[in-house]
Amino acid sequence: MAHPADPLSRRRSLGLLLGAAPTLLLGGCALNGVSEAVGAATQPLNERLEALLQGKGKLPEFRPSQVDPAALLINSFNGTPEFTPGSYRLAVSGLVSRPLNLDLAALAALPQQQCVIRHVCVEGWSAIVAWSGPRLADVVALAGLSPLAGYVFIESADQYYESWDLASALHPQTLLATHMNGAPLPAANGAPVRLATPIKLGYKLSKWVTSLKLMATLGDRRGYWEDQGYEWFAGL
């Protein structure tokens, strides 16, 4: 089996070759007036390229022995929300036939999956982490997804917000993680529930997730950092 870093290196090389200019303009720095104008023109192409590179299949994963807990840094957006035991609910609404309000027991009753994957931060660091929990796709399927849905708007208890394309949300390695490295997810890392996937940069991976809303189009609020100039798709 190829080393997990090899496919990622090939994907990154192709992405840099075909999309270097848009990536530089649409990366993790606030856009100035010039780059904002260019970014508006190139972002759709950049997103299509990243979606093509992402594909629909599973990415190679790492061995559990490669997990490095100390490498996962904690970034706090607005402090760490507190949940009383049993108070957590995940709302699933919008373009679904069965709106849901799931507690942790309901999430635990769904098929559980572990992914040993690399978490990549736009600030330049990365960490190999073993995440586990239900797939986001299984939660959406339970709610009865409408064929009109194309995006997911995600809200968190710390007021952070994000939006994803539906294909990325339904990727087989996109999890609503409740455990990390074989133990319950720590509060500082997003407990009770956070997003985890190998196909998105870290700022897309919301912690303390409380709401998923399926939508046909993107609204004015695309993401906390995206609304300040960061790239929206943020694919790896």
Q: What is the CATH number of the domain that holds 124?
A: 3.90.420.10
Domain tally for the chain? 1
Per-position b or e across 193-210, b if 16+ CB within 10 A of its CB: bbbbbbbbbbbbbbbbbb
DSSP 201: -
151-156/183-184 β-pairing: unpaired
Which residue range forms the structural domain that includes residue 73?
Answer: 61-228
Rounded distance between C-alpha atoms, residue 150 and residue 41, angstroms: 22
Q: Could you tell me if residue 235 is inside a domain? A: no
Q: Where does the chain show beta strands of DSSP type E? A: 90-94, 100-102, 112-120, 126-134, 151-156, 161-165, 175-177, 179-180, 183-184, 194-196, 209-215
% of the chain with per-residue pLDDT over 70: 76
106: β partners: none
Q: What is the pLDDT of residues 76-105, one digit of tens each?
A: 788 999 998 799 999 999 999 999 999 999
Burial of 54 (0-12, 13-18, 19+ CB in 10 A): buried
The confidence score (pLDDT) of residue 78 equals 87
Assess contact for 225 and 185: CB atoms under 8 A. Answer: no
Q: Could you tell me if residue 25 is inside a domain? A: no
Q: Could you tell me if residue 35 is inside a domain? A: no
Predicted TM-score (pTM) of this structure: 0.79
Per-position b or e across 65-87, b if 16+ CB within 10 A of its CB: eebeeeebeeeeeeebbebeeee
Query: Does the pLDDT value for residue 11 go beyond 60?
Result: no
Rounded distance between C-alpha atoms, residue 38 and residue 82, angstroms: 42
- Sign of the CA dihedral with 199 first, then 202, 203, and 205 last: positive
Residue of 193, 188, 230, 221 whose CA lies nearest to 208: 193
Q: Could you tell me if residue 15 is inside a domain? A: no
% of the chain with per-residue pLDDT over 90: 71
Both structure tokens of 94:
């919008």
Q: Could you tell me if residue 84 is inside a domain? A: yes
Instruction: Reduce the DSSP state of residue 218 to 3 states and report it.
Output: coil
Q: What is the pLDDT of residues 162-209, one digit of tens each?
A: 999 999 999 999 999 999 999 999 999 999 999 999 999 999 999 999
Q: Could you tell me if residue 55 is inside a domain? A: no
Q: Could you tell me if residue 26 is inside a domain? A: no
The confidence score (pLDDT) of residue 55 equals 54
Q: Could you tell me if residue 219 is inside a domain? A: yes
